[in-house]
Amino acid sequence: MILSIIVAVSDNGVIGRGGGLPWSLPKEMAYFRQTTVGHPIIMGRKTHESIGKVLPDRLNVVVTREKGYKAAPGCTVVNSFEAALALPEIRNSEEVFIIGGESINQQALAFADKLYLTKVHARVQGDKFFNYNRDDWREIWSEKHVSDEENKYDFEFTILERRKIGKNG
Ligand SMILES: NC(=O)c1ccc[n+]([C@@H]2O[C@H](COP(=O)([O-])OP(=O)(O)OC[C@H]3O[C@@H](n4cnc5c(N)ncnc54)[C@H](OP(=O)(O)O)[C@@H]3O)[C@@H](O)[C@H]2O)c1
């Protein structure tokens, strides 16, 4: 199983503000959908509540410490990050996506094989961040997009793989 994190990050490291996203980037949302459809997604309870519904055509796993938490219909609830990874549907998947937010991303970072990192070229105010050690990762693909009427900021899709210890690149 490949464990991937998918996250959109501003130039100053911000991923969230006031429980939601600090931007509206429909092209980025479409990329997120296209990338994750058909694969299980794992998210923190707060991210689930900010989405407010099950995301279709994907197993939605919501992580919370609250026993008996009622997520939106169609979601699978677990009480730890380890329990999410132990689900048979997760273990038997080719690729699984961690979709946030800050707390789940940081817990997943040590185990993740790939990062689908969208670099949002803006400096924005926020209260949730994504910090990773760039030296641990190698960019294997990128695609630039310029701002337009609906997408206010320039952004760049990138995919990074974890560098193998003892290997160059
Ligand atoms: N830019 C992006 O790509 C992106 C993507 C997703 C989200 N976001 C943003 O990120 C923000 C949310 O991030 P966040 O860090 O506040 O919340 P979060 O990671 O979405 O959810 C945190 C919650 O998950 C549960 N949790 C976390 N670790 C757990 C563990 N080990 N075991 C059991 N439960 C665990 C807890 O729920 P309980 O409190 O219920 O126990 C915790 O309060 C929002 O602003 C959102 O819009 C941004």
User: What are the boundaries of each domain within the chain?
Assistant: 2-162
Which residue in this structure is represented by tokens 């380890």? 82
Which residue has a Cα nearest atom 40 of ligand 1? 64
What average pLDDT score do residues 19-28 get? Answer: 97
d(CA 123, ligand 1 centre) in Å = 22
Average pLDDT taken over every residue of the chain: 96
Which residue has a Cα nearest atom 12 of ligand 1? 101
The overall pTM is greater than 0.95: yes
Decide if pLDDT at 110 tops 80.
yes
What average pLDDT score do residues 103-131 get? Answer: 97
Selection from 10, 21, 14 nearest residue 47 by Cα: 21
Pairing of strands 60-63, 76-78: parallel
Decide if pLDDT at 108 tops 70.
yes
* Nearby residues of 30 by Cβ (< 8 Å), 6 or more positions away: none
Decide if pLDDT at 83 tops 80.
yes
Q: Enter the tokens of residue 125.
A: 């105010």
N-to-C CA span, the chain: 22
Q: Given pLDDT bands bounded at 50, 70 and 90, which one contains residue 165?
A: confident
Ligand 1 test: best mutation among 7, 9, 15, 80, most atoms within 8 Å of CB? 15
CATH fourth-level superfamily of 2-162:
Dihydrofolate Reductase, subunit A (3.40.430.10)
Are the CB atoms for 146 and 38 separated by under 8 Å?
no
Ligand 1 test: best mutation among 102, 124, 125, 156, most atoms within 8 Å of CB? 102
For 58: left if phi > 0, alpha if psi spans -120 to 50, otherwise beta; the answer is beta
Selection from 82, 93, 97 nearest residue 1 by Cα: 93
**Residues in the chain, total:** 169
pLDDT at 152: 95
Question: Which DSSP letter does residue 35 get?
Answer: H
d(CA 167, ligand 1 centre) in Å = 34
% of the chain beyond a pLDDT of 90: 96
Are the CB atoms for 146 and 30 separated by under 8 Å?
no
pLDDT at 167: 55
SS3 63: strand
Which residue has a Cα nearest atom 24 of ligand 1? 44
